[in-house]
Structure formats: C-alpha cells, structure tokens
C-alpha cells in the first residue's frame, strides 16, 4: 500500500492526473473515486478515458449508472452509483460481467455499492478547497504508484 497526495488547481490538472493513471495502470484495474458533489470525479475519469484512446465525449453516468467504452487494449467501464438505492441492485445488472479482470473500472460514489462492489486497487479521495482540489491516492500496488509518479512528471 502506498498513498500519494496531489494538488489539482484546475480541470486540466484533474484530467492530467486521470491521464497519468491510465498510462500507468495495468489492464483490469479497479479505481474507486470518492468525494463530494462536483469534486471532479467525472473530470478525472474523462482524462483517464481520453488517455486510453477515446476521442468523443465522456458524459457523467449519473442517470445511466454506467458508461462503457470499448477501446483498443480493453474496455473501460465508468460507473456513478450516486442514484443507487441499494447495493444489491448491482447484482441485478450483473456487476461481475463488468469486473471481468480485463476491463478497467472506475466507480464514482463507491460507498453506495459497499458489500457488493469488488474491492478497488486504487482508492482516490478528493476534497474541495475553493476552485482547487486535494487528492489522496491509496495504491494497493506500490509499483503502480511509482509508474504513476513517473508519468506525471513527463
Ligand atoms: N480543480 C478542479 N478540478 C476539477 N473540477 C473543478 C476544479 N475546479 C473547478 N472544477 C469544476 O467542478 C466541477 C466538477 O465536476 P465533476 O462532474 O467532475 O464532479 P463530480 O465529482 O463527478 O460530481 P458528481 O458527484 O456530481 O458526479 C466542474 O464544473 C469543474 O469545472
Ligand atoms: Mg461525476
């Protein structure tokens, strides 16, 4: 386990952090994105999905629960569980088919799925400080943390 702290002064910084995560991740990774409304979770996910090669829009999955991107090198699934009434709903939608070990999975509001949602490899907690954001990134895999830092400074 290795925890890193990063400051994001703007949307662009938040997207750059998402992009560096995408470039340093192993396929099949599971990322939990916690933080209050408008913390920048979707903004980070947008940087991630674009860096994985998606050229189009990256919409918030607030109403659809999940947006899936079939990309070269493996799919990315982006969940937003804000509107989930009960974690068991995840079983009805076949959550295990998304967490298949091949696709990368990013989950906003992961606490809403506690008990059913598979455990993450990386837990990101975002706090808001005016227009800036503070991120704490807890990596289960120290090697990923090191690759991420190397990608950020490039
Ligand atoms: N430093 C920053 N990083 C990220 N977003 C920022 C920053 N400063 C301002 N913002 C703004 O905050 C909002 C973040 O929205 P975003 O949809 O990414 O948040 P979210 O955490 O996904 O919210 P929700 O819980 O509603 O899904 C955007 O309007 C963005 O422009
Ligand atoms: Mg969001």
Q: For residue 14, which atom of ligand 1 is closest to its CA?
A: 3
pLDDT at 67: 98
Collapsed DSSP state (helix, strand, coil) of residue 10:
coil
Tell me the C-alpha distance between 35 and 51, whole Å. Answer: 22
pLDDT value at residue 141:
96
Q: How far is CA 87 from the centre of its chain?
A: 18
pTM of the model: 0.97
Give the residue, out of 14, 31, 33, 39, with the most ligand 1 atoms within 8 A of its beta carbon, to mutate for a pocket test. 39
pLDDT of residue 151: 96
Distance CA 122, CA 3 (A): 9
Closest CA to 30 of 141, 127, 112, 128: 141
Pocket test for ligand 1, best of 17, 40, 50 (most atoms within 8 A of CB): 40
Of the ligands numbered here, which is closest to the C-alpha atom of 37?
1
**pLDDT value of residue 138:** 98
- pLDDT reported for residue 88: 95
* pLDDT digit string (tens) for the chain, length 154 residues: 999 999 999 999 999 999 999 999 999 999 999 999 999 999 999 999 999 999 999 999 999 999 999 999 999 999 999 999 999 999 999 999 999 999 999 999 999 999 999 999 999 999 999 999 999 999 999 999 999 999 998 7
Q: What does the pLDDT read at residue 17?
A: 98
| DSSP annotation string for 17-63 | HHHHHHHHPPTT-EEEEE-STTSSHHHHHHHHHHHTT--S-----TT
Residue-level pLDDT at 153? 83
CA of 38 to the centre of ligand 1 (A): 4
């Amino acid at each position: 386990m290795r925890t890193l702290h990063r400051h994001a002064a703007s949307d662009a910084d938040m997207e750059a952090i998402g992009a560096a995560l995408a470039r340093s991740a192993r396929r099949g990774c599971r990322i939990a994105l916690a933080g209050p409304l408008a913390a920048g979770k979707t903004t980070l996910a947008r940087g991630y999905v674009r860096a994985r090669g998606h050229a189009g829009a990256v919409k918030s999955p607030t109403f659809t629960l999940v947006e899936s991107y079939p990309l070269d090198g493996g799919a990315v699934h982006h969940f937003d569980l804000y509107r989930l009434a009960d974690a068991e709903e995840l079983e009805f939608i076949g959550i295990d088919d998304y967490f298949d070990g091949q696709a990368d999975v990013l989950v906003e509001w992961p606490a809403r799925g506690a008990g059913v949602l598979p455990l993450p490899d990386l837990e990101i907690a975002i706090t808001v400080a005016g227009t800036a954001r503070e991120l704490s990134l807890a990596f289960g895999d120290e090697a990923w943390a090191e690759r991420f830092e190397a990608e950020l400074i490039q």
